Amino acid sequence: MSSPSSQQQSSQLEATAVDNFREYLRIPTVQPNVNYDDCVAFLQRQAKSLDLPLKVYNVHPNKPIVIITWEGTEPSLPAILLNSHTDVVPVFPDHWTYPPFSAHMDEKGDIYARGSQDMKCVGIQYLEAIRRLKLNGQRFKRTIHLSFVPDEEIGGVLGMKEFVHTKDFKSLNLAFALDEGVASPTNDFFLYNGERSLWHLWIHCPGNPGHGSLMLDNTAGEKVRYIIDKFMDFRAKEKAKLTNPKCKLGDVTSVNLTQLQGGVQTNVIPDKLTVVFDIRIATTVNIVEFEKMIRGWCEEAGPGVHIDFEQKNEEVEVTKVDATNPFWVAFKKASDKLGINLDVGIFPGATDSRYVRAVGIPALGFSPMNNTPILLHDHDEYLNKDVFLRGIKIYEELIPAVANA
């Protein structure tokens, strides 16, 4: 039975954690054109309260990468990275019950704010778990770096994507990373060991222009129709796989038509039409063969049809979740000790983990939120206070496990 003083300390730590979470949520690091100054100042105060050194790296101006470091007892060993991103997606306040940057907490303990699930919760959970571990006088073999990175919500192009190729990143000497997952509506917890390759592509279909009354050959409309049919037929086949209850979204290649552009007015046949697709390629697909297939469709559609890639992620090896990966073994053992069931799979979206894995560092995506509706990017995004606090306790087991692996 814990003593009154330890109970008092525990409730003070919980109050501090909730206060810090809500303060962080009130900083509107909302895309686009984010000003990260208040965020950096907040993290500097957190590092000071933990008596840990903090460094700010600027791979690009106004895109700060904040690293807080807790040195291990064997600092020559490769280190652990606990990554989170500081930016959040845009909001439409009219659709929110409470102002989206107020961090309002209702009578049930639900904390409403943009970023409450994606992913300011995880950044604070890391910090608060380390606060407790330090107070208990614990130390671990491996150095732990907490990274707070910008612009993940717009592809991390000027954030983690470039940072992983710098001397500063290499000097962190990393062996393993944790990053974000998503909330789970069930009692299980989602864990992700890989991501689909993200392709955003524009397919341009040029053709003969003319008057809308004519029946010309080689029109942009005929070509764009062929392209759309090919992509949407492929989409239907992939979607059909999801009727198998064992098949998850991360196991299939998703295809979505997101934009159609072109034309000048109703009675003019356009000289070009463009169709835009968002594609997430399953980890089981050979991307060289996949590209060959879609380029073949473009040739079949007619002369001049060509692709521009807005994004074209390369195939990245998934992180092994077997006995060959000591960090997975340690993570799983700690999860079993906590009695939490992990639903392991491929992340359906894209996170900064893909850049970390691409430079050969194993990474797992995990956000300790269960029995919680998935509200990332949605109106009225919230996280319950008790779910948030339990997540800290979970990290109190997981962080030591991987830092001593």
d(CA 172, CA 186): 36
> Could you tell me the CA-to-CA distances from 54 to 40, 67, 148, 348 in Å, in that order?
10, 6, 11, 33
Q: Angle 37-50/4-25 helices, nearest 10 degrees? A: 160
Q: Which residues contact 242 (CB under 8 A, 6 or more apart)?
A: 248, 249, 252
- Identify whether 87 is a catalytic site residue: yes
Whether 152 is catalytic is yes
- Gap between the Cα atoms of 177 and 135, Å rounded: 24
Using alpha carbons, select from 61, 67, 60 the residue that is nearest to residue 170. Answer: 67
Two structure tokens written together for 18: 């909730």
Per-residue pLDDT of the chain (405 residues; tens, 9 = 90+): 556 678 899 999 999 999 999 999 999 999 999 999 999 999 999 999 999 999 999 999 999 999 999 999 999 999 999 999 999 999 999 999 999 999 999 999 999 999 999 999 999 999 999 999 999 999 999 999 999 999 999 999 999 999 999 999 999 999 999 999 999 999 999 999 999 999 999 999 999 999 999 999 999 999 999 999 999 999 999 999 999 999 999 999 999 999 999 999 999 999 999 999 999 999 999 999 999 999 999 999 999 999 999 999 999 999 999 999 999 999 999 999 999 999 999 998 899 999 999 999 999 999 999 999 999 999 999 999 999 999 999 999 999 999 999
- Containing 278, the helix (H) or strand (E) segment is strand 272-281
Domains in the chain, start-ordered, CATH in brackets?
4-195+318-403 (3.40.630.10), 197-282+284-312 (3.30.70.360)
First to last CA, the chain: 31
- 73 neighbors 140 (Cβ within 8 angstroms): yes
The catalytic position among 87, 179, 180, 251 is 87
Instruction: For residue 226, give the H/E element and its range.
Output: helix 220-241
Catalytic one of 110, 152, 153, 180: 152
